[in-house]
Amino acid sequence: MQYTSYHDLLNEEFDKRKSYNSSYSLRAYARDLGMSAPRLSQILSKKQGLSIDAARDVAQKLKLSESKTQWFTSSAGSLHARSFKERTDFRERVMTYKEEAKVFTELQLEYFKVISDWYHFAILELSYLEDFQNDSTWMAEILGITKVEVEEAITRMKALDLIQEKDGKLIDVFKFLATPNDIPSISLKKFNTQLMKKAMEALFEQDVMEREISSNIISINKEQLPAFKEKLRDFRREFENDSAPTKNKNAVYCLSMQFFELTRRNQ
């Protein structure tokens, strides 16, 4: 886990809830965790601790995953278990989690780099073109990026088993690399920001016959939003499935859809 102790997770969760609801208070957080506000305040400031049973109860109320629950209770036990032996055993468990998390985090960071820079996906798609050249200079010129960016991207994707090189050709191994829906991420924000910028460039630089950029402004009931988003995702999947079997591919295009609220009101 990326936390120093279970206190960090509790504080992070509190900050997250306040970001969703500016009126969310420490008293409300304590109520949701099944304890008094003064006690929670003492715990968050590390002046009091959680017993193993209390930590397990809090983890359940926070709806933590099984692995995170085990780490959470072990973290509490490493600090507050009654005997020295128990504290030592829990500390060893926490160290094991940290080592596993370190390896996982290093791998995740490489995946985030793939997600955050648009040209990784573009290189994967280039490999399907009829006139594709497995040459970093050619790919750099086609995509308008540097040769170093191409080489680093290919090295990264090979390490992650997203792409392979066979008989002098690059092969897309993963086939369908998708980013998660409705999960806030700095990497995803960077990725989409880059593509929005590319769309703005296309608006002015590409002939209207080579692009389709359009917008609709409509009024809706926000209860319809989940259904609308699912329709857009279904369309995206159908669009991608239709394009997959196409032969003699000769260009890489980007399909972006923008659907967001223009009206801002107090919730």
Strands 163-166 and 169-172 turn out to be: antiparallel
Average pLDDT, the chain: 81
173 pLDDT more than 90: no
150 pLDDT more than 90: yes
At 18-76, the pLDDT tens digits run 887 888 999 999 999 999 999 999 999 999 999 999 999 999 999 888 888 988 999 99
Q: Is the pTM of this model over 0.85?
A: no
Distance CA 264, CA 267 (A): 9
Place of tokens 């573009």: 122
Q: Which residue has the higher pLDDT, 95 or 77?
A: 77
Residue 261 has a pLDDT of 57
pLDDT band (50, 70, 90) for residue 267: very low
pLDDT band (50, 70, 90) for residue 183: very low
159 pLDDT more than 60: yes
Place of tokens 């208070």: 25
Q: For residue 219, what are the CA distances in angstroms to 41, 248, 258, 262?
A: 44, 42, 15, 10
105 pLDDT more than 50: no
* Triad 158, 159, 164: Cα angle to 5°: 25
Distance CA 19, CA 66 (A): 26
pLDDT band (50, 70, 90) for residue 188: low
160 pLDDT more than 80: no
At 197-246, the pLDDT tens digits run 888 888 888 888 888 877 777 787 888 888 888 888 888 888 888 888 88
How is residue 7 written in tokens? Answer: 């206190």
Residue range 185-206: mean pLDDT, rounded: 78
Helix, strand or coil for residue 169?
strand
